[in-house]
Amino acid sequence: MDFDGPTTKTVQPFRISFVCAGNICRSPMAEVVFAHHVSRAGLASRVGVASAGTGDWHVGERADERTIAALARRGYDGRSHRARQFDPEWFPALDLVVALDRSHERILRSWATGEEDRAKIGLLLGFDPAQAALADVPDPYYSDDRTFDEVLGMIERACTALFRQLEPAVRQGATL
């Protein structure tokens, strides 16, 4: 066990990554929303939040302008996001890998090197009982601004539910 001093236990950050296809629409929304919950709760030093895509089509690009606009309409700032591709070598450093739909979940499970990594993978809507039956957050990429707003609403509700589940353990410094 690590210690900072004679009586202070070192708290390891809980690390979570949200994953969609290209990392320019859904997963950046989830990253920004979840990071907002973490920051508002004063837990930024205890939770690391990231996002990535299963594909490499947009690596290095900003989030889709409609993503940035939808986030801004709700008071979030997604302008600093840069897309990246999920690397299976990240599994050991992550505590939770959240897929935005079942296709991403399948890809992530195929990349996992063992049961320990596969056990870290979950669907975002699965954390929200009110939306769990839907399973997939729809891809708004080929849609309009209204769809981006609707998708963001789904992501906000699911991230709120996920945060409520994780917050007590994070506050206590538990290894999840």
The answer as to whether 132 is a domain residue is yes
Which residue would you say has higher pLDDT here, 13 or 67? 67
Asked if 136 and 125 touch (Cβ cutoff 8 Å), the reply is yes
- Token code pair at residue 22: 């290209």
Give pTM, 2 decimals: 0.91
3 belongs to a structural domain: no
User: How many helical (H) and strand (E) elements, i.e. helices and strands, does the chain have?
Assistant: 5, 4
User: Does residue 43 lie within any of the structural domains?
Assistant: yes
At residue 45, does pLDDT exceed 70?
yes
* 37 assigned to some structural domain: yes
Pairing relation of β-strands 14-20 and 47-53?
parallel
Position 64 scores a pLDDT of 96
CATH number at residue 49: 3.40.50.2300
Active-site residue list: 20, 26, 139
103-142 tens-digit pLDDT: 999 999 999 999 999 999 999 999 999 999 999 999 999 9
Is residue 164 a part of any domain in this protein? yes
Distance CA 114, CA 144 (A): 39
Q: Is the pLDDT of residue 3 over 50?
A: no
Residues with Cβ within 8 Å of 163's Cβ and at least 6 positions away in sequence, in order, are 34, 37, 38, 41
In a domain, 145, yes or no: yes
End-to-end CA distance of the chain, in Å?
A: 16
Model pLDDT, residue 10: 53
Query: Tokens representing 7?
Result: 């009586």
Count of domains observed in the chain: 1
Residue 166 within a domain: yes
Domain of 51, in residue numbers: 14-170
Residue 6 domain flag: no
pLDDT given for residue 11 in this prediction: 57
